[in-house]
Amino acid sequence: MKATLRDGEGVEVSVVFPAYNEKDHLEDAVKKTMKVLDGITESYEIIIAEDGSTDGTDRIAARLSAEHAVVRHIHSDKRLGRGLALRRAFAKSNGRILIYMDVDLATGVGHLKTLIKSVRKDCDFATGSRMLRESKATRSRSRQIASKSYNFMVRTLLGSNVSDHQCGFKSWRRKALLELLDDVNATHWFWDTEMLVRASRRGYSIKEIPIEWTHKGRTKVNLVKDSLTMGSQVVRLWWELRKQSCTKNYLGI
Distance CA 116, CA 137 (A): 21
Residue 46 bridge partners (DSSP): 15, 71
Torsion 177-182-188-194 (CA) sign: negative
Burial class (CB in 10 A: 0-12, 13-18, 19+), 186: buried
Q: What share of the chain is helix, strand, coil (3-state, %, to 5)?
A: 45, 20, 35
* Of the candidates 179, 20, 178, 33, the residue with the CA atom closest to the CA atom of residue 107: 33
Which residues are identified as catalytic? 192
Residue type, 28: D
Distance CA 83, CA 101 (A): 13
CA atoms within 13 A on the CB side of 22: 23
Q: Which letter does DSSP use for residue 107 in this model?
A: B
Which segments of the chain does DSSP mark as H helices, in order? Answer: 26-38, 57-67, 82-91, 112-121, 141-158, 174-181, 191-201, 223-251
Distance CA 143, CA 223 (A): 8
